[in-house]
């Protein structure tokens, strides 16, 4: 005899099945990574958060922290994939990567789609401008107030959101494909402002070594940005295990030894919690 169930009961049953599958995926993810021996991690090429060496090896403060944490969890290697910030959340949702660790700031809007570890990197925001700062751009509001001013940043970056939230028009924002190309746009006079994380901008200007450019840091009127490792929303067990190992790293002093050579402050990171940015995430 076949029994067919329709209506709300059927929908409830399907919902429970989906929920059970989600919990199973969360519990199984870390076990699967231990069996494989590596985790696939999304990174962006934005030193000092993450840096792709000539031989393809990925280093930087965020991947180095992730390697140390994952080693504590019994996963000895990470396989890094370079993904633009704006594409990291879709990659996590589609499980094309196991986690993202590259300075992806903890933001309420992002927390609607993914979950984060406790903060691992914090820093101020910065602009790069022509030497002398001819338009006197010190804030995003300054860009918004000058309809002739244009800026560049990456699609999906926190800096794009900061600009739009503070009145900068979409037509004033030109998205770069990677940070060096954004600096090139500034050098060529195609934009007036390059906007990115403070240490990332500082590192790029140092490497570019162009006397015609200067740094504006910090950018006032925006909060200090803090990032954490990001996970699929169903991977709560994996995230919680990661948090526990990250805490061990912080408590032992090893965390500070990893990030401070890159210019990050361990004290600034230890002073904040995930709930400061996304309560209940």
- The CATH homologous superfamily of the domain defined by 21-122+225-266: Periplasmic binding protein-like II (3.40.190.10)
pTM for the structure as a whole: 0.82
Candidates 119, 35, 107, 121; CA nearest to 74 is 35
> Mean pLDDT by 10-residue block, N- to C-terminus, for the chain (281 residues)?
40 41 59 97 92 89 97 96 93 98 93 98 96 98 98 94 97 96 98 96 96 96 94 97 98 97 94 96 95
Q: How high is the pLDDT of residue 143?
A: 98
Tell me which fold the domain 125-216 belongs to. Answer: D-Maltodextrin-Binding Protein; domain 2 (3.40.190)
Rounded to the nearest 5°, which phi and psi values hold at 75?
-115, 100
Kindly list the domain boundaries of the chain, sorted by start residue: 21-122+225-266, 125-216
Distances (CA, A) of 191 to 52, 73, 151, 216, 274: 26, 45, 5, 15, 35
Q: Tally the residues of the chain.
A: 281
- H-helix or E-strand spanning residue 1: none
DSSP reduced 3-state for 75: coil
Can 21-122+225-266 and 125-216 be said to share one CATH topology? Answer: yes
């Amino acid at each position: 005899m076949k029994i067919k169930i329709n209506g709300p009961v059927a929908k409830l049953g399907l919902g429970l099945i989906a929920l059970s599958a989600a919990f199973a995926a969360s519990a199984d993810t870390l076990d699967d990574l231990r069996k494989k021996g590596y985790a696939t991690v999304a990174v962006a090429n934005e030193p000092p958060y993450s840096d792709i060496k000539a031989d393809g090896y990925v280093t930087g403060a965020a991947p180095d922290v992730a390697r140390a944490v994952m080693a504590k969890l019994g996963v000895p290697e990470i396989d890094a994939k370079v993904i633009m910030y704006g594409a990291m959340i879709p990659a996590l949702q589609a499980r094309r990567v196991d986690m993202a660790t590259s300075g992806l700031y903890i933001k309420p809007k992002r927390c609607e789609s993914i979950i984060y570890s406790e903060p691992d990197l914090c820093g101020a925001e910065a602009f790069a401008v022509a030497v002398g700062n001819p338009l006197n751009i010190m804030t995003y509001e300054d860009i918004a107030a000058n309809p002739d001013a244009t800026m560049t940043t990456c699609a999906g970056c926190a800096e794009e959101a900061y600009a739009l939230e503070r009145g900068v028009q979409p037509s004033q924002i030109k998205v770069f494909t990677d940070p060096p190309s954004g600096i090139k746009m500034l050098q060529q006079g195609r934009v007036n402002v390059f906007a990115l994380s403070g240490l990332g901008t500082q590192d790029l200007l140092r490497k570019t070594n162009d006397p015609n450019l200067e740094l504006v840091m910090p950018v006032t009127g925006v909060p200090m940005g803090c990032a954490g490792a990001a996970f699929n929303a169903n991977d709560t067990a994996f995230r919680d295990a990661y948090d526990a190992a990250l805490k061990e790293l912080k408590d032992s002093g090893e965390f500070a030894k990893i990030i401070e050579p890159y210019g990050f402050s361990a004290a600034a990171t230890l002073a904040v919690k995930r709930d400061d940015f996304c309560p209940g995430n």
